[in-house]
Structure 1
């Protein structure tokens, strides 16, 4: 058995799979999030650890109910939200709440980084507030007393690793999102660390995602009735999610519909297109890279509109949207509730409903939200296509994939088949479990362990709907962003 743990933004999820890859049990524990200032987003790492323990213990109890002994677990794998800055002192005490991936306070520091010599050539990326390095520059400027006490900087899942094993470690897929990694060479960049005022000793050790990074501590092993099993390095949530649905070879791609929206395409060599805010990262498997476009708000927009419209939950909103259908003259929604990454790299971007009429209903707002997220995803997919890495068939994972209505709308917008597979809703935790399997059995065949799960459904695009959405709706969507962008920036500057 292999245990996968995924530290998400809204919850910690755990999954137990057997050697055939079959899921035997799942568990989760919700997480709080704090927004103490505009554009700030933080969490307490202690909440992560408490939620992780709860999820693991729920999972082990569920396994015991099926007569599965914890001693059958052969390895643990980790996945987690990327980019979060978790800063520790010499005694491993957390110095302040972790600054998360969707935090937008460090745009001034990003402008500073873009002027560094060889910055884009080394990192393969634009400097964005979501990444880790500008957060540390912000701390150096605004919280210098805390910055001076920093002994280690860990990414979120790697804080769980420290609590599980006592080891400081990370994997190259997660480290790629810090802006301290030389992406092409898969190593820490001394020049980028020097520019941030951090010694290499402040960084965790680097591993490939399928490598062993430590072993479960004796005290936790005894408490949970487990052996001191190896803990795999794991992967950032998107890389692990890709492993979970078998997106591991050149030319394969997935669309992840979680809090954020991510298009992820695998390459067997290093590629980059920072001018369009495409992320160029290492994959969680050796000698593999990936390109990624990121929307900061995807399924979270559905939560926003469901609350705004007074729906009891997102499911009720989706049912109402499907009953009414997408009107050709309905409102347009810009999904930039907390800024945007690909392709705009605009921390000041805001969401908006436009084109409202006297007969507009909350169902129209719901459909506009579904469409607006889809059009934003299309922008990102086309940015990745521009690198020359174009994929015809896309696997979809994440909670947003549960809606057949939305999946068909997205297929019509993107103009390519969307494939749903078994286990897509637990993709990152499943991927973490698969990386644990590879760590426990170094000679295992990657294609067998990381095979694509069975197909649940394929949503084929409607050619006429795709043409309409590309020719009529997408130009309006893009024009509205351009028209409002200057106003957003001016308002934010005055504030």
Structure 2
């Protein structure tokens, strides 16, 4: 069967992921390899003290992304899809979208990037003896109640970005269990019932009488086939009317779940690091953690297995800003450099820098960074007067900074909890330039880091795989499906820590930790 025939006969699977700076669609066929893609660039806004995207941003972004995908399909294969074997929606996890009974959004969408729920997160964590990070949906809801916000009395439902779009496409308020685990703590199949009862009691005492079971979206495990594209949903996604209703939609998942899927990291003692606008590590646990820590989230795989997650709000945005500065310089010099070549040039030059960056330190905090104890973000760098300051060291420090806060959290897992991991797989834009960020991460974490050929495809490909699993799983577990159908023979490279690099990264981290007081002061 040709690819054109596969497209026309619903032998393709579509994943759409709403990242922080880009909405991306990836189409795969029944070999589970990408065959087409489309994207739409967007940016969050900082309005009235809140990081947000408008509903118009979300809707137009979805439509533009899908239109770019269908144009790519037309250009490559000369056909326009009217249906798919299955599809799925992913998005930035956590955050807060609150709706009334008529589905009106009550306050602007509060994204994961906000660090405005410290009191709520602290009180909930103490109540449950379980870490509730500031960005989790329940922390946002409880903080709004503590603040006495007027909209609270009108709340009928809350949702995440992925859950909201899934609802618009299917009419179903449901999320995958991995996404749910960033809304409220879960067990292997649903929200933790004991925790729900405790929090309901606290919310009732604060005047919020609606039960959480009514407010939160329902929970499904990977492979569930309970939602289908409605006529309204098809029109929303494709205003041309070409796309027909009836396509099965898998449970919507967060970017953590799609990252685990895209790196074949859903079994115990596997892990992955996803690096883009934010950076987070996911280690699938073979036993519960002994303690709970504000730096560590406990979430799940898309099939409900417990995962220790170190999530950092800041990763590549400040790095990208510095690349842009050098791009401007190249333009002014009369020798402009294409963006991919510019990234490669600066990344590879960073490999020639001193392992400790010549006593140059960078903080990439555009927003607060709870793992590092930073309430607000102020990008900054410093160096010692006798340090070796040059371009290679500056840019090496910039790349180190993308993973330095992550290192703080990972040290807790490796040193305090003795979490074991057989492999860590990196994916996302930070790993596009081969062997640079991958080597630095291996040096920093002290373990082997693998990067697959598909590393740049990211979560949209992972979401397409979860969609395919819904109709192609044939009774296999998700890990069996991934191992036997998707990743068998997958090309990858693995780099081991290097002694000089590891010692240099450790030296950088000592300077980084000593300088955090200056970062805190600057943020005030």
TM-score (norm 2): 0.83
2: CA distance, partners of 1:213 / 1:81: 22
When the two structures are aligned, how many residues end up with a matched partner?
478
Gaps of 5+ in 2: 1-11, 236-240, 331-338
Aligned pair partner of 1:293 in 310, 316, 319: 310
Aligned counterpart, 2:482: 450
1: CA distance, partners of 2:413 / 2:293: 11
Deviations 1:466-485 (A, max 9, x none): 13332x2222222222x336
Three-state SS of the structure 2 residue aligned to 1:265 is: strand
Q: Where in structure 2 are the equivalents of 1:357-396 lying within 5 Å?
A: 357=385, 360-361=389-390, 363-385=392-414, 386-396=416-426
Task: Let me know the Cα RMSD of the aligned residues.
Answer: 2.7
1: CA distance, partners of 2:413 / 2:226: 32
Q: Where in structure 2 are the equivalents of 1:243-262 lying within 5 Å?
A: 243-262=261-280
1: CA distance, partners of 2:148 / 2:325: 36
Q: CA deviation at 1:170?
A: 1.2
Q: Is the 8 A contact 1:84 1:155 kept in 2?
A: yes
Aligned counterpart, 1:239: 257
2: CA distance, partners of 1:439 / 1:239: 15
| Residues 407-416 or 93-102, more deviating | 407-416
Shift in CA distance, 79/272, structure 1 to aligned 2, threshold 3 Å:
farther
Q: Does 2:48 correspond to 1:44?
A: no
Three-state SS of the structure 1 residue aligned to 2:370 is: coil
Q: Is the 8 A contact 1:277 1:341 kept in 2?
A: yes
Aligned pair partner of 2:97 in 59, 67, 86: 86
Q: Is the 8 A contact 1:282 1:289 kept in 2?
A: yes
1: CA distance, partners of 2:290 / 2:468: 31
Aligned counterpart, 1:398: 428
Shift in CA distance, 285/268, structure 1 to aligned 2, threshold 3 Å:
farther
Q: Where in structure 2 are the equivalents of 1:96-245 lying within 5 Å?
A: 96-116=107-127, 119-120=128-129, 124-125=130-131, 127-142=132-147, 144-178=149-183, 180-183=184-187, 186-187=190-191, 189-196=196-203, 197=208, 198-199=210-211, 200-221=213-234, 223-245=241-263
Q: CA deviation at 1:465?
A: 2.3
Shift in CA distance, 296/269, structure 1 to aligned 2, threshold 3 Å:
same
Q: Does 2:369 correspond to 1:340?
A: yes
Shift in CA distance, 72/100, structure 1 to aligned 2, threshold 3 Å:
closer
Three-state SS of the structure 2 residue aligned to 1:160 is: helix
Aligned counterpart, 1:473: 508
Q: CA deviation at 1:300?
A: 1.7
Shift in CA distance, 486/50, structure 1 to aligned 2, threshold 3 Å:
closer
1: CA distance, partners of 2:363 / 2:340: 18
Shift in CA distance, 96/68, structure 1 to aligned 2, threshold 3 Å:
same
Q: CA deviation at 1:228?
A: 0.3
Aligned counterpart, 1:326: 353
2: CA distance, partners of 1:34 / 1:17: 32
Aligned pair partner of 1:266 in 256, 259, 284: 284
